[in-house]
Amino acid sequence: MSHWFSYPNIDPIAFRIGPVAVHWYGLSYLFGFICVFLWMNRPAGRRRLGLTSDQIQDFLVYALVGVLVGGRTGFLIADWITKHNFADYAAHPLKFIAIWEGGMAFHGALVGVILAILLFLRKHPGLTFGILGDEVVPLLSIGIFTTRLVNFINDELPGKLCNPDHPYCVTFPAYPDGPRYPSQIFEAILDILTLPVILLVYRSRPPDGVVAWTWFTIYGITRSVAEIWREPGFTVLGLDGGQFVAVVQIFIGIAMIAYSYRRGVRTTTRMENAPA
User: pLDDT at position 276, please?
Assistant: 39
| pLDDT grade for 272, boundaries at 50, 70 and 90 | low
Kindly report the backbone phi and psi dihedral angles of residue 273, in degrees, each rounded to the nearest multiple of 5, phi listed first: 60, 15
Specify which of 152-156, 222-226, 227-231 reaches the highest per-range mean pLDDT. Answer: 222-226
User: pLDDT at position 271, please?
Assistant: 64
Average pLDDT rounded to a whole number, residues 165-192: 90
pLDDT in tens, 94-112: 777 776 666 788 889 999 9
Kindly state the DSSP code that residue 161 receives in the 8-state scheme.
B
pLDDT at 2 over 70: no
Average pLDDT rounded to a whole number, residues 10-26: 89
| Count of CB atoms situated within 10 Å of the CB of 146 | 22
Domain boundaries, the chain: 13-263
User: pLDDT at position 102, please?
Assistant: 62
pLDDT at 47 over 90: yes
8 A C-beta contact, residue 37 and residue 48: no
pLDDT at 34 over 90: yes
Q: Does 16 count as an annotated binding residue?
A: no
User: pLDDT at position 54, please?
Assistant: 96
User: pLDDT at position 195, please?
Assistant: 97
Inter-axis angle of helices 53-83 and 106-122, to 10 degrees?
140
48-62, 166-180, 211-225: which range is least confident on average? 166-180
Average pLDDT rounded to a whole number, residues 31-44: 96
pLDDT in tens, 255-267: 999 999 999 999 9
- What average pLDDT is seen over the chain? 89
User: pLDDT at position 27, please?
Assistant: 92
Strand partners, 159: 230
Residue partners of 61: CB distance under 8 A and separation at least 6: none
User: pLDDT at position 1, please?
Assistant: 57
Query: What gap in Å lies between CA 20 and CA 274, rounded to an integer?
Result: 40
8 A C-beta contact, residue 268 and residue 48: yes
Average pLDDT rounded to a whole number, residues 195-213: 97
pLDDT at 232 over 80: no
User: pLDDT at position 45, please?
Assistant: 95
pLDDT in tens, 64-85: 999 999 998 888 887 787 776 7
User: pLDDT at position 79, please?
Assistant: 78
Average pLDDT rounded to a whole number, residues 30-40: 96
pLDDT in tens, 132-161: 999 999 999 999 999 999 999 988 888 999
Average pLDDT rounded to a whole number, residues 198-215: 97
Average pLDDT rounded to a whole number, residues 36-60: 96
1-5, 101-105, 124-128: which range is least confident on average? 1-5
Query: What gap in Å lies between CA 50 and CA 253, rounded to an integer?
Result: 26
